[in-house]
Amino acid sequence: MAVSIIAIKLIGPEKLGMWQAALLIKPYVAFLQLGLTQGLGRQIPFLLGQKNDYRVRQYASNAQFVTTLYTLTCAIIAVALTFFLAEGINEKLIYITAGIFIATMFVDNYLSSTYRSSKSFANLAKVYFVASIFEILLLPLIYYYGFNGYMIILLLHSIFSTSLLIYFRPIKVASKFNKDIFFENIKIGFPMVSLDFLRSIPDTYPKIFILYFLSTTALGLTSPANAALAAFAVLPASLAKYVYPNMTFNFGKTANKLKLWQTSKKLSGLLTGIGLVGLFSIFIIPYAVENFFPKYVEAISITKIALFIAFFRMFTILFTVFNTLKAYKIQFIVSLIRNICYLIFPLLFYYFASTSQQLEFIFLGVLVAEFLYVVALFYFIFRVTHNKLSYDD
């Protein structure tokens, strides 16, 4: 977050828009894992709840083998694209950084799924802390090299943090492909990744609309808004790494759906309280942008709107309840609702906006879409945790 804020301060919206455009491919490539880490993330805590350590190591060994193949393939493609297609130092750094970002994402997703005990959670916290300090120490690169320095920071931090995750990994097994485990894992994880992909991919729709209808500069102007979204996402993302495996562990141990609803309510209360405190920053934004980020004065209104979008997005963590229960039918309905809302409302608001308000109205459409999605999310979580019928098929 600190690095992003400094980058917004020193780099104009044109170049940041290019970087955001390059990252649009990331969630689409993540789908190519076919649910490998999603299945692993669900099965490991569930099997630990059943005290089946042997099966846990089998799953980890297989996933490690497949993840290595994904990572090497992605890295090779990134280097090839950089060499053959990129022109100039800016483009080359964008290509290679985006490629390494995605390659290490495969490793990070796999390893994060294996940090599931109290001791390993403590190690995971140390990894994130040390990696954050490392990234902050690289901040002078932005001052001296501008956008290129920003790309170098992201590149080095990505490699360093992944290296720490590998070093402290809690399940140290040899990589070994097991066909039966692979297909069993994919059978569990593919519905999860498909439905999670369907749910999360709408986050790219507004960016695509902005690129198509407006420009990369307009996309770059959303950088302060994206920083606000990222700030609100820090706590839910951190909690998800702890709450989801614990919910799954307890469900594997007790098979009690109502406890999932009780956990969801407590978590919602916590998120609401923290989110409401965060919304007070709406009074600081105009002053902060005008005095510290003058290149983004046009983005003040969309940054304010982004705060409310971010508030509702905090509750996305509750979607993990469906993964714990393998409630695929309900997941599909909820994900479809989010897709429809994100396709309809940003476009609808855009067409009713004047030329000078088009970017602002796209964000208003996203706000309406996210609110409706959260309402649907709570409704279906209540249903799936209170209904005695099975949703596993």
The pLDDT tens digits for 338-360 are 999 999 999 999 998 888 889 99
Q: Average pLDDT of 316-322?
A: 82
Task: Please tell me the predicted confidence (pLDDT) of residue 389.
Answer: 45
In this predicted structure, the answer to whether residue 311 has a pLDDT above a threshold of 60 is yes
State yes or no: pLDDT of 117 exceeds 70.
no
- pLDDT score at 34: 74
Kindly report the average pLDDT of the chain as a whole number.
Answer: 83
Q: Reduce the DSSP state of residue 286 to 3 states and report it.
A: helix
Task: Give CA–CA dist 382/336, Å, rounded.
Answer: 18
Query: Percent of the chain having pLDDT more than 70?
Result: 96
Average pLDDT (201-209) is 89
- Is a pLDDT exceeding 70 seen at residue 390? no
Angle among Cα 85, 91, 93 to the nearest 5 degrees reads 110
> Would you say the pTM of this structure is higher than 0.85?
no
CA proximity to 315, closest of 266, 280, 361? 266
Comparing 306 with 39, the larger pLDDT belongs to 306
Mean pLDDT over 236-265 rounds to 76
Tell me, letter by letter, the H, E, C secondary structure of 358-389: HHHHHHHHHHHHHHHHHHHHHHHHHHHHHCCC
List the structure tokens of 94: 């964008």
